[in-house]
Structure 1
Amino acid sequence: MTKPALILHDPTLRDGQHAVRHQLDAQQIRAYAAAADAAGVPVVEVGHGNGLGASSHQVGHSRISDDEMLATAREALPHSQLAAMMLPGWATSDDLRGAIRHGVDVVRVAAHCTEATVTERHLGTIRELEADAQGVLLMSHMASPDQLADQCALMVSYGAQGVCIFDSAGHYLPHDVSARITAITKAVDVPIAFHGHNNLGMAIANSIAAVDAGARVLDACARGFGAGAGNTQLEVLVAVLERYGHHTGIDLRLLAEATDLAEQILMPAPPTIDSVSLVSGLAGVFSGFKKPVLAAAEQTGVRAWDLFIELGRRRVIAGQEDVIPDTARDLAKQGAHR
């Protein structure tokens, strides 16, 4: 039986920014984008790790502006689509207009997994500007399959032409993914995407589970470049999909060269599952909290492991970085020192 064709969405130049404090420069963006384009990667996502308009003291200043990042990438992507992400509260409609003016083809509007209503205005604006509007649910392990299905249906009613769930904490096992994607396929009639993180070493297996349950778009990064333990590893995912008989349209040999280049020029070292990334996945805490958690633990003398467990207990989500030092101080007062 012919396996369905899949679309690979590559956020190396956006999610990878978390791993280098959003300090990628124009030369790095240009070089990797050109290599990904040559390999036939269909969609390349670019920007600050937290998306359009997010460069700030709270989550980190980008080395270069959104405008420069997008203009640089657009020139280097004659064949691939250019994507951007935004989170309401960081980006505005003006940021969307600027991004699309720079040639962005796909804009993803992301919200916490139970807060799809905040995407309505921005999804409508993207449709009006004639770009591909997609809705994203972050920290999706914090919602049940039926809740996610309802939230995805809301985003489609607002104009989303595709929906995506993020395993932002790398917390899922394959059966978790299967249940959620299956529920979403029954609720919407648009392409469904899955974005995995590798904290428990399950990103590839979870991505295959998503496909088997009906997802037709998969996110993955060169060498897994991303927050914490990193994302689904792009070149490995393409190889595994080929073994399963899925067509991606990507030249795996050229992709391997592109990901070799990414390791050389983008990252100090490829992501690894260290003890901090592991506990982040176990606790169900956003992978991008790794660096601020380590900093807060060092300042207060508490164990990073204990701090992650407590953040998970408090159900802290992305965007609440200011809670981390407060939680660390609370643990220190309780005597939870190293």
Structure 2
Amino acid sequence: MAGNDGRRGALRKPGTKKGPKVGTGGHSRRRLEGKGPTPKAEDRTYHPAYKRKVEREKRQAQEAAIARARAKTSIKIPEGHELISGRNPVAEAVRANVPVERVFVLDNVKDERVEEVIRKASALGAPVLEVTRRDLDVATDGAVHQGVAIDVPAYEYLDVADLIAQSTQQVGEPLLVALDQVTDPHNLGAVLRSTGAFGGDGVIIPERRSASVNATAWKVSAGAAARVPVARATNLVRALEDCKKAGFFIVGLDGGGEAELRNLPLATAPLVVVTGAEGAGLSRLVRETCDQIVSIPISSTVESLNAAVATGIALYEVASVRAAEASQE
């Protein structure tokens, strides 16, 4: 109709055309999708697993640094051999006729024990090599070597039957020590030292879950590892049963023992003293094999004794009872 185009309502204002409007752009959808999978525990800085991961990586880095240092040192120890260091342990090993492959010594060491080691090693045809302090530091993992070390073959263990036979041939009543799941070589070395000091004839250890006679045990034993024989048993319970058949009594050390160690009646008989790991104590089967379980009286403020300390106390008590009886005869 004429004139209609003049109506104000018939005209659309510029920019008012309907169409798509600005939306979320997918923000809501992405919000619903979440933030992705949860990081591993060891990747979360606040989690204990992260701290363990950091410690593990630090330890691995240290081990790698030691390996690199060893690759540069002039001291190379064949697989299966041990490096015994320290003047007393080295001298005792040589006096006990332990086979010596090589002697490593600093050029400025002046000591009678070291001179004795050099003389005996030279007489046996073992080369004596002059090395640097850094070489010995690296080869002994930073242990106190006192300027001398020897390379020896792997320790030769006795059979349990041989140790039993050997101990019964000694003067006086035989005395053996058995260690049940003691995995720290420091403890083994200390037990060897106490066994030698209090007249023990040898130590029995299981093949599995036990420390071996390595460089650490040699060092702590202060030479006793060269004098006190060690037998390795495939089954400790069976080894203790063999000792029983040979006339030994088996006494186990445990905090909940039925009797106290003091004035132990069985001390004067052929005896095997059995010590378990600190905290865990004797395993069930070993405990059941013992003829008697005894305890060492200690203060209530202390939960338990170190395995080596407990063994040393027990051996001292046995030696005291035997000495007292011998004096009355």
Normalising by structure 2, we get a TM-score of 0.28
Q: Which has the higher contact order (CA 8 A, sep 6+)?
A: 1
The structure whose residues are more often helix, as a share, is 1
Normalising by structure 1, we get a TM-score of 0.28
Q: Which has the larger radius of gyration?
A: 2
